[in-house]
Chains A and B, each alone.
Chain A
Amino acid sequence: MARALPDRRLTRRRDGSWWRLVAALLVALSGCSSLETPEIVKDFRVLGVSLSRPEVFVMVEGIDPTLTPAELQTLTPEDLPDAIEITRYYGSDANPGQVHLNILAANPERPDTPISFRVRACPYYEAYRCDDADLDDTLLLYNFAAQEGQNKYRGHGTLRAPMPPRTDAPDDAQQFTFELPIDYLNKVLDADPFHGFGGLLVLLDIEVRQAGSPSIRVGKLMTYSLPFALANEGDTSLIVKEQNRNPLTCALVIRDSVLSPNFGGINCAIGARLAIETSEQEEIEAEPGEEVAIEPVMNRAERRELGDEAQIYYADTFPDPDRGIPPGNKVLSEVLDFDYYATAGKLSAYRLSTRTVFSDQAWPRIKWTAPKQPQCADVFLVLRDDRGGQSWTRRTFRVGDVPYQCPACVNPEIYGCPPPQ
């Protein structure tokens, strides 16, 4: 039986495109391109979108909803229902389906211009927009029209928009929080060509606007999956999975062995809050044109092999009767990408990664060259795993003699600095 996949609007050609790849490769390698590079932020940009839960567990009909993780492990594949229907969210806290969305936006040109956004959800079909999805499958989660004037968070920093606006919990008031209805998840499941196998993907189609700049479309995937994986052949039990979490950095080492200010030590523990939340409020002084080494400190602040912070996880595998492959699982380790951005100066690298397919492994240490003119500059590190987890940190540099406190120039709402002159 064959079923058409949605139109991906990708070009398909008859073995004639390879030369374009060759040409692009040669141009890229020769350094002949005059186009801008991604690591320097000059205008309105979205650098990252994170979810408090990049993976959300759901439970299906036919399985006792009160089972604990330990009890789940006593189940066998035969205990699974033939027809899957999602019945509820599954997790240890009170609101396991609730997700907070953060957007990291930046615009050195208009640091004080408000930003608004719209969020829609739809089944994921490889395209990172909901435009092609059926209207019935698209769910409007948040519309900038309803929030104009209320989003006062400007310029750099984490854009956190409450929906509905909340005043009772200041720490959470700057987050956009949502929870997809179970009925909607079942609708997405019905449309999934993989029948939910390996996880159900929902696309968050986000449009971010700032007056005076072109709007930016951003795609972010949510994963809804069962809390267990199929066992390998011969095993009689299911394997309980660990929910994917955002990758964490504890701190940034600035100028070799000097930790960024106000950071509480090197003993980060797994699950600790991002170090950036305490350290990014401080500014660091730098001389014009100075080369500053920047290096992330991973969890437990020990320099380990890259990937220590990456999670081990189980991925369900498809059965393939023709090749004698039964349903089962693969044990995989996350790959981490370290993306650096700067609003001024020059970065020695943009993306460092633990990926080893197309590149040699490199420790994510970079050099940032400060601009030659006195000014404030921000350097961002966005850390991504390869299944939706994401976090970021920022360091603000005062380059040369700047007559004001730098963070104030870029985000007066958060940092309480005087408005720009």
Chain B
Amino acid sequence: MAHLRRALCFVFVCALASPAAAQEGARTFTDEEKAEQAPEPVEAVLTRPPELLKFAEATYPEAAREAGREAAVQLILTLSAEGKVTEAVLAGEPVGDGFDEAAIEAALQLEWRPAEVNGAPAEVRVPFIYRFAFVPDPEEPPPAEVKTARIIGRVREKGTRLPLPAVPVSLGTIAEVLSDETGRFVLENAPVGEFELVAVSPDHRRERLPVTLVAGEEVEVELLLERLRSSPFETIVRGDRERSSLTRRTLEDEELKTVPGSFGDPLRAVLNMPGMARSPYILGLVLVRGSAPSDSAILVDGHEVPIIYHFLGGPSVLPADMLERIDFYPGNFSARFGRALGGIIDVGTRRPNPKAWRGNAHFDLFDAGLYFEGPIIEDRLAISGSIRRSYVDAVIQTVVEVLADGENVSVVLPVYYDYQTRLDFRPSHAHSLSLVVFGSDDQLEVVGSQSGGTDVRLDAGIAFTRVKLDWHAQPAKWLEWTLSPVVGFDETSYRVGTLEAEGTLYEYALRFDLRAQPVENLILRTGFDGMARTLVAKGRVPVLLPEYRPHPSSTIGDREAATIERSLDLMTGAFYLEAEWRPMGGPVTVLPGVRTDQYTWVDRYRFFVDPRLNVRWAVTDDITLSAGGGLFSQPPVEWRLDPEFGNPELEPEWAVHTGLGVAWKMAEALSLSVDGFYIERYDLSERTNEAEFDENGNVADISRWENIGRGRAYGVEVLLKHELTRQFYGWISYTLSRSEQIFQIGDDWSPTDFDQTHILVLVASYAFSDNWRAGLRFRLVSCNPQTPVESPTLDSDRGTHQPLFGPPLSARGPLFNQLDIRVDRSWTFDWWSLGVYLDLQNVYNAVNPEAVQYNYRYDHEAPIPGLPVLPSFGIQGSF
């Protein structure tokens, strides 16, 4: 008997490919270091996969040979820019019997043609399977005369039809070849006869294709490999590598689309991270470290958008297919970001596939959408587009009508749609242009009857459009910049009874970001972040004060309303400079930054300088300590600057963020981070309890907006995370925090609306064989504080009861607890794939009071329940 020792290797584009490392030759970085070194705007494109030039045969372990055992040892190889294997480590569980040692020993002897990233040889890490196959000796010698044939083939992924490069294709035990970057391969001089073509990829099922070879003939074949875990609901979303903030939370790949309870929406998945308070119902409020929703900024490619979720807890306005990355900074963020006191969610749109056309269509209970992407000119000009429209209004209407059985029932009807398109042009490796147009439209119409029988009408609408152009250039390896102008407008409208208001906000924004790495241990970054807004509003609104003093029982009526028109200009501009410096190339990284914000409105000018400093110390390869602090400022909400309804004298609000953290990489896929924070917020705009009098003693104004509020938040965030591996991901997130505010001068500290002392989130998801995935999310969260009602008084003039409130926000309901589950199943066909999911929220139907409602005379209370069991079912077909 003879033993054939064969190795099957698999090379694919890996996120660990590092241009920086490539430039630095043989220098070895840890994973984290590599991640940090990578320039965020530069897209690392694997222009040539590594190619195995010289195979090294391993020694078959004797005991295993005698026992007739076979094995496949999964390895991760680090290939230098010269094509040498500098490191070989086990990627999976040891298989034992001496196979692991033999495979590592042999793998270190392999010789490769180096991979190229962006056209230059680069260090990469590749998965590699060294397969030990036990083959009996041929009892009969091969035929003396061998005639040959030729096989031409292509390896592609089943369902998506994407070419699979560097996939080894073997003809029995006779010949083997790797597919090229287009998935094509050629087997010359193949023996005639009946054989089996075998293609193996670590992420795909082994594909076997019987072929019959006839001497002198050419056979053309196509091998379609099915992904081991195929799901049309997966998306390719990767966190960027920017690390100039103290804390950044990043979710990747299918984590973002398969988190239970998120309805497959990546931007909802982020809400499960530490530092993020629970939003009531599924409203999707961004509640970062106790701050108000308006204190946090939602950015798309660095530019603000007015809303990120559709009305009433709808999905995010950007579909998952359009996303490249989502980064969440709960505080202490980079000087590149500003105009926010809370946190930052920075969403990046995805570059369309420049090589192949792809697309999908999805339907669920709420909406339906289409997505496509592909090359117009391969590798140079590509386009993507998406559109989505809700029909939840029709669903609700139908269900309610059936359930109501003829009764007159009020219905809330949200209607939304959104659209996105992106055109990418890459004239050269050094330059790229992208044009992104996106927007959404939300309308909400409430028609119904109050308990008294009076008709109620409440309409609201918001729509926005943004047109963004990005010009990215990298004239030298150490220098790159991005210029990004944006124009857009927002339209809002409200109608309550006969009162109505509508406004249009025109926005012009410009970002310029320059990144340079003059020396190895120093990265400099500078730029401009400016925005001009013009708000034009008109409406029929109440203008009671200060014109006359109505009787207190008088309700605002249309007789007191007036048609007003407003125009407000607001300009902000910021210059920033920050550095990432590693003194002496040591374990300490210093990240100083400064941002200067200028605010101009109503002929007033404000200037803020926000210095920031973060420091990281890699104590060991696995443990990193970090600390930081800085100033942050934001302008007041626009309408509060109105001369009549607000106060144009308002100053910007500002905050001091401080933080301390430790990150411990406990194992290959397991990490633990603990972050403490303390935040003070100053000059928050609040309504005063004071009346203003002129020199004659006349009332000039009452209850005006002033910068009299203060806030503070402090706490600890813990994240134990199992990174996404072949089958499992999950995390346990716990936040212990306190968020307080002073609303009026002389007031004591009281909790803020979303002060949640304990926030525990557990997420786990497991991929089974046969394309099943199941996951769960469990949450245990303190109830939001509420203001108790101590006793009522009948207001005889209005005929209604007035509550007498107790101390503000001094009461709490029971702990919120909820379990959500999600099950995914997919099927892959030759040309397309089909996926379905069931997302079930609040599995055991916990009654989680979101607030308290009182009866008309405030002597009995009842909880306003949270969501009951809420199923969502979706289906998506992709090609």
**Residues of A that sit less than 8 Å from B by CB:** 1-5, 7-17, 19-20, 22-39, 46, 48-49, 124, 126-129, 193-195, 197-199, 201, 206, 214, 216-221, 223, 315-323, 325, 329-330, 332-333, 335, 337, 339, 348-353, 355-360, 362, 366, 382, 384, 386-388, 390
CB within 8 Å of A: which of B697-734?
697-700, 702-703, 709, 711
User: What residues of chain B lie closer than 8 Å to A193, measured between beta carbons?
Assistant: 691, 699, 702
Q: Say whether B546 contacts A318, CB under 8 Å.
A: yes
CB within 8 Å of A: which of B546-590?
546-561
In the assembly, what is the distance between CA of A19 and CA of B753, in Å?
10
Q: Say whether A218 contacts B292, CB under 8 Å.
A: no
In the assembly, what is the distance between CA of A216 and CA of B547, in Å?
35
In the assembly, what is the distance between CA of A191 and CA of B787, in Å?
29
| Contact of B754 with A by CB under 8 A | yes
Q: Say whether B711 contacts A384, CB under 8 Å.
A: no
With A221-B553, A339-B799 known as contacts, the answer to whether A350 contacts B547 (CB < 8 A) is no
Partner of A128, one of B557, B687, B795: B795
Q: Say whether B497 contacts A358, CB under 8 Å.
A: yes
With A16-B753, A23-B864, A128-B793 known as contacts, the answer to whether A1 contacts B412 (CB < 8 A) is no
User: What residues of chain B lie closer than 8 Å to A27, measured between beta carbons?
Assistant: 853, 864
Closest to B685 in A: A14
Q: Say whether A124 contacts B552, CB under 8 Å.
A: yes
User: What residues of chain A lie closer than 8 Å to B553, measured between beta carbons?
Assistant: 221, 384, 386-388
5 nearest A-B residue pairs (beta carbon): A16-B753, A349-B453, A198-B549, A350-B452, A387-B551
Q: Say whether A15 contacts B292, CB under 8 Å.
A: yes
Q: Say whether A31 contacts B555, CB under 8 Å.
A: no
Smallest CB separation, A315 vs chain B (Å): 5
User: What residues of chain A lie closer than 8 Å to B799, measured between beta carbons?
Assistant: 48, 337, 339, 351, 382, 384
| Contact of B802 with A by CB under 8 A | yes
With A3-B693, A19-B280, A349-B454 known as contacts, the answer to whether A38 contacts B794 (CB < 8 A) is no
In the assembly, what is the distance between CA of A321 and CA of B283, in Å?
44
**Scoring B residues 384 to 416 as 1 if CB is less than 8 Å from chain A, else 0, what string do you get?**
000000000000000000000000011110000
Closest to A10 in B: B805
In the assembly, what is the distance between CA of A15 and CA of B33, in Å?
41
User: What residues of chain B lie closer than 8 Å to A35, measured between beta carbons?
Assistant: 853-856, 860, 862
User: What residues of chain A lie closer than 8 Å to B558, measured between beta carbons?
Assistant: 356-357
Smallest CB separation, B802 vs chain A (Å): 5
In the assembly, what is the distance between CA of A27 and CA of B863, in Å?
11
Q: Say whether A384 contacts B699, CB under 8 Å.
A: no
| Contact of B850 with A by CB under 8 A | yes
Closest to B856 in A: A38
Q: Say whether A16 contacts B292, CB under 8 Å.
A: yes
Q: Say whether B547 contacts A221, CB under 8 Å.
A: no
Q: Say whether B860 contacts A4, CB under 8 Å.
A: no
Partner of B804, one of A9, A319, A386: A9
Q: Say whether B548 contacts A12, CB under 8 Å.
A: no
User: What residues of chain B lie closer than 8 Å to A36, measured between beta carbons?
Assistant: 855-856, 860
Smallest CB separation, A289 vs chain B (Å): 18
Q: Say whether B551 contacts A357, CB under 8 Å.
A: no
User: What residues of chain A lie closer than 8 Å to B688, measured between beta carbons?
Assistant: 2
Closest to A313 in B: B551
User: What residues of chain B lie closer than 8 Å to A329, measured between beta carbons?
Assistant: 548
Q: Say whether A335 contacts B554, CB under 8 Å.
A: yes
User: What residues of chain B lie closer than 8 Å to A16, measured between beta carbons?
Assistant: 292-293, 752-754
Smallest CB separation, A324 vs chain B (Å): 12
With A4-B690, A35-B862 known as contacts, the answer to whether A219 contacts B793 (CB < 8 A) is yes
Q: Say whether B455 contacts A20, CB under 8 Å.
A: no
Q: Say whether B281 contacts A23, CB under 8 Å.
A: yes
In the assembly, what is the distance between CA of A329 and CA of B808, in Å?
38
Give the interface residue-count category, chain B. 35 or more
Extra A-B contacts (4), CB below 8 Å, given A362-B453, A390-B797: A1-B693, A19-B285, A194-B549, A359-B454
| Contact of B499 with A by CB under 8 A | yes
Partner of A318, one of B547, B711, B794, B865: B547
Q: Say whether A219 contacts B805, CB under 8 Å.
A: no
Partner of A356, one of B452, B497, B856: B497
Q: Say whether A195 contacts B697, CB under 8 Å.
A: yes
Smallest CB separation, A84 vs chain B (Å): 11
Q: Say whether B412 contacts A29, CB under 8 Å.
A: yes
Q: Say whether B856 contacts A348, CB under 8 Å.
A: no
Q: Say whether A220 contacts B796, CB under 8 Å.
A: yes
Smallest CB separation, A291 vs chain B (Å): 14
Q: Say whether A386 contacts B410, CB under 8 Å.
A: no
User: What residues of chain A lie closer than 8 Å to B546, measured between beta carbons?
Assistant: 318, 320
With A1-B693, A14-B686 known as contacts, the answer to whether A387 contacts B554 (CB < 8 A) is yes
Q: Say whether B796 contacts A218, CB under 8 Å.
A: yes
In the assembly, what is the distance between CA of A356 and CA of B498, in Å?
6
Q: Say whether B555 contacts A348, CB under 8 Å.
A: no
In the assembly, what is the distance between CA of A243 and CA of B105, in Å?
105
| Contact of B212 with A by CB under 8 A | no
Q: Say whether A217 contacts B793, CB under 8 Å.
A: yes
| Contact of B692 with A by CB under 8 A | yes
Partner of A14, one of B551, B753, B787: B753
User: What residues of chain A lie closer than 8 Å to B698, measured between beta carbons?
Assistant: 195, 197, 318-319
Q: Which of A5, A321, A348, A355 lies at the interface centre, i.e. has the most chain B CB atoms within 10 A of its CB? A: A355
User: What residues of chain A lie closer than 8 Å to B855, measured between beta carbons?
Assistant: 35-36
User: What residues of chain A lie closer than 8 Å to B448, measured between beta carbons?
Assistant: 29
With A19-B283, A124-B552, A201-B552 known as contacts, the answer to whether A49 contacts B796 (CB < 8 A) is yes
Q: Which of B692, B793, B795 lies at the interface centre, i.e. has the most chain A CB atoms within 10 A of its CB? A: B793
In the assembly, what is the distance between CA of A27 and CA of B451, in Å?
11
User: What residues of chain B lie closer than 8 Å to A206, measured between beta carbons?
Assistant: 796
Q: Say whether B454 contacts A24, CB under 8 Å.
A: no
Q: Say whether A9 contacts B292, CB under 8 Å.
A: no
Q: Say whether A332 contacts B559, CB under 8 Å.
A: yes
| Contact of B765 with A by CB under 8 A | no
In the assembly, what is the distance between CA of A349 and CA of B796, in Å?
19
Q: List 26 A-B contacts (CB under 8 A).
A: A5-B702, A7-B689, A8-B689, A12-B686, A12-B687, A14-B743, A14-B753, A20-B851, A31-B410, A33-B862, A35-B862, A39-B451, A127-B804, A195-B697, A199-B549, A219-B796, A221-B797, A317-B547, A332-B559, A337-B799, A357-B497, A357-B558, A382-B799, A386-B553, A386-B554, A388-B553
With A4-B690, A352-B452 known as contacts, the answer to whether A357 contacts B703 (CB < 8 A) is no
Smallest CB separation, B569 vs chain A (Å): 20
CB within 8 Å of A: which of B486-532?
496-499
In the assembly, what is the distance between CA of A333 and CA of B559, in Å?
8
Closest to A197 in B: B549
Q: Say whether A358 contacts B859, CB under 8 Å.
A: no
Closest to A9 in B: B805
Q: Say whether A316 contacts B446, CB under 8 Å.
A: no
Smallest CB separation, A419 vs chain B (Å): 30
Partner of A357, one of B446, B455, B557, B637: B557
Q: Say whether A351 contacts B454, CB under 8 Å.
A: yes
Smallest CB separation, B598 vs chain A (Å): 25
With A24-B853, A390-B797 known as contacts, the answer to whether A14 contacts B689 (CB < 8 A) is no
In the assembly, what is the distance between CA of A124 and CA of B560, in Å?
23
User: What residues of chain A lie closer than 8 Å to B865, measured between beta carbons?
Assistant: 32
Smallest CB separation, A71 vs chain B (Å): 26
Partner of B452, one of A49, A351, A387: A351
In the assembly, what is the distance between CA of A337 and CA of B554, in Å?
11
User: What residues of chain B lie closer than 8 Å to A318, measured between beta carbons?
Assistant: 546-549, 698-699
In the assembly, what is the distance between CA of A351 and CA of B455, in Å?
11
| Contact of B93 with A by CB under 8 A | no
Q: Say whether A350 contacts B453, CB under 8 Å.
A: yes
CB within 8 Å of A: which of B776-801?
787, 791-799
**Scoring B residues 653 to 693 as 1 if CB is less than 8 Å from chain A, else 0, what string do you get?**
00000000000000000000000000000001011111111
| Contact of B744 with A by CB under 8 A | yes
Partner of B497, one of A194, A217, A220, A359: A359
| Contact of B457 with A by CB under 8 A | yes
Closest to A354 in B: B557
Partner of B809, one of A11, A322, A356, A358: A11
